[in-house]
């Protein structure tokens, strides 16, 4: 079976959750030996291990100095030209990669829109800015054979966008590779360590986390919790320059080995995000047997329940404060039980082996309809 995976970037050449998904999915599909895989991307090949047998087709990248959505459409035109040269049974498009000329591929096209951020924006300004992206994605989805949902609230959003069209919505979650040793290392610190991992941007809710940290300091509870914040982004410099609460530690961007150590030595992952898909960082922490404190957005409810953490309304510092105080009061034994539940859930449903099988079954079904 011949499969084309179209993406606007591959991790680590391009940073981002969708780009990381493109790399991991391509590698796991190739290792099955069940598909002849071609990856269309904007990088100078080869970027994959040649032993995997992945065919790479370079597509000239977008001009980041020009209007983004217009550049996405131009990029899709170049992708379509390359697809015309390939004989494929199935096309999997990440985001907006297959758009211009989509009618030529509709009957074998699977679109994965990932986090659907443009449908989850909260402020009026964000909603206005997101309108062209909502319009474009709705048009793409309605002319595709299948739309992939990560689950949770995202599935309802997709069903609303494809209503009245022939596009089918299929749930395939994100996945994670289990670490060599999945057991957690209990924190030996006198206070609880809550780890944040993500981009330093408004949508990640860092302002909410900072408000809670300051409240704990003012109440004389600075030693109760230590917040460790890993990542970079547009807000990092401003946080570095301003005075921070004494219980907050900025770590900046960390490499994979250091991130693994942080996951293992923290007491829980905290992510007060305003909108999300299915966050990889939550899966990575769960794979290391950690409880999770996260906003109830996107598909996070697929991952977190009272068994292994707290689901909170986005943008609410009072709810985050209450969850952190509750977590701190429950003690190490309960924390370990919550972490064990996280790990078991990942092992059952969210490994790359399980999710890759789901993709192969979907590919077979779409290709079978062509035959």
pLDDT in tens, 229-286: 999 888 888 888 887 899 999 999 899 899 999 999 999 999 999 989 999 999 999 9
242 neighbors 250 (Cβ within 8 angstroms): no
Any domain includes 186: no
**Helix (H, G, I), strand (E, B), or coil: what is residue 309?**
strand
Any domain includes 264: yes
Closest CA to 6 of 233, 220, 18: 18
Any domain includes 295: yes
- 233 and 157 in a common domain: no
- 254 and 340 in a common domain: yes
- 122 and 14 in a common domain: yes
- 251 and 147 in a common domain: no
Any domain includes 181: no
pTM: 0.90
305 neighbors 153 (Cβ within 8 angstroms): no
User: Per the structure block, which two tokens stand in for 298?
Assistant: 């996107």
Any domain includes 15: yes
Average pLDDT, the chain: 93
In the chain, how many domains are there? Answer: 2
- 305 and 212 in a common domain: yes
- 68 and 145 in a common domain: yes
Closest CA to 275 of 165, 184, 174, 201: 201
- 127 and 42 in a common domain: yes
- 216 and 286 in a common domain: yes
Query: Cα separation of 179 and 287, whole Å?
Result: 7
| SS3 per-residue string spanning 89-131 | CEEEEECCCCCCCHHHCHHHEEEECCCCHHHCCCCHHHHHHHH
Any domain includes 182: no
User: Per the structure block, which two tokens stand in for 307?
Assistant: 């068994």
Task: Look up the domain containing 314 and give its range.
Answer: 192-349
- 355 and 344 in a common domain: no
E strands, the chain, are 2-6, 36-41, 55-58, 90-94, 109-112, 146-149, 168-171, 192-197, 225-230, 248-252, 268-271, 292-295, 309-312
Closest CA to 72 of 98, 40, 93: 98
What are the backbone angles phi and psi of residue 290, rounded to the nearest 5°?
-115, 145
> What CATH number has the domain bearing residue 333?
3.40.50.2000
User: Per the structure block, which two tokens stand in for 21?
Assistant: 């998904």
Positions in the chain short of pLDDT 50: 182
Determine the pLDDT at residue 187. 56
Determine the pLDDT at residue 124. 82
Query: Cα separation of 24 and 175, whole Å?
Result: 9
β-sheet bridge partners, residue 56: 39
- 156 and 8 in a common domain: yes
User: Per the structure block, which two tokens stand in for 101?
Assistant: 């000329």
Sign of the dihedral through C-alpha 54, 59, 60, 64: negative
- 107 and 234 in a common domain: no
342 neighbors 18 (Cβ within 8 angstroms): no
Determine the pLDDT at residue 196. 97
> Taking the chain, what is the end-to-end CA distance rounded to the nearest angstrom?
12
- 241 and 167 in a common domain: no
Any domain includes 185: no
Any domain includes 180: no
């Amino acid at each position: 079976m011949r499969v084309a995976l179209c993406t606007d970037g591959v991790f680590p050449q391009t940073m981002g959750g969708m780009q990381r998904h493109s790399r991991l999915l391509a590698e796991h599909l190739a290792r099955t030996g069940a598909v002849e895989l071609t990856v269309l991307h904007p990088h100078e090949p080869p970027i994959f291990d040649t032993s995997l047998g992945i065919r790479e087709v370079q597509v000239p990248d977008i001009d980041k100095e020009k209007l983004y959505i217009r550049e996405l459409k131009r990029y899709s035109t170049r992708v379509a030209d390359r697809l015309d040269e390939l004989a494929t049974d199935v096309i999997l498009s990440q985001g907006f990669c297959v758009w211009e000329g989509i009618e030529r591929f509709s009957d074998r096209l699977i679109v994965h829109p990932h986090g659907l951020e443009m449908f989850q924006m909260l402020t009026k300004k964000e909603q206005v800015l997101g309108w062209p992206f909502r319009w474009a994605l709705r048009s793409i989805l309605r002319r595709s054979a299948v739309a992939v949902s990560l689950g949770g609230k995202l599935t309802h959003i997709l069903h609303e966008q494809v209503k009245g069209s022939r596009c089918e919505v299929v749930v395939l979650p994100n996945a994670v590779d289990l670490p060599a040793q999945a057991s957690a290392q209990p924190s030996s610190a006198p206070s609880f360590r809550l780890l944040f991992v993500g981009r330093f941007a408004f949508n990640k809710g860092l302002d909410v986390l900072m408000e809670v940290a300051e409240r704990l300091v003012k109440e004389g509870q600075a030693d109760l919790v230590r917040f460790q914040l890993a990542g970079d982004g547009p807000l990092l410099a401003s946080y570095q320059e301003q005075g921070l609460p004494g219980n907050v530690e900025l770590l900046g961007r960390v490499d994979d080995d250091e991130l693994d150590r942080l996951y293992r030595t923290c007491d829980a992952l905290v992510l007060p995000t305003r909108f999300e898909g299915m966050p990889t960082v939550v899966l990575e922490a769960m794979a290391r047997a950690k409880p999770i404190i996260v906003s109830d957005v996107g598909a996070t409810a697929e991952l977190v329940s009272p068994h292994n953490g707290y689901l909170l309304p986005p943008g609410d510092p009072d709810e985050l404060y209450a969850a952190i105080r509750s977590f701190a009061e429950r003690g190490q034994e309960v924390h370990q039980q919550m972490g064990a539940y996280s790990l078991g859930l990942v092992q059952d449903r969210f490994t790359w082996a399980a999710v890759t099988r789901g993709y192969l079954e979907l590919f077979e079904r779409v290709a079978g309809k062509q035959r």
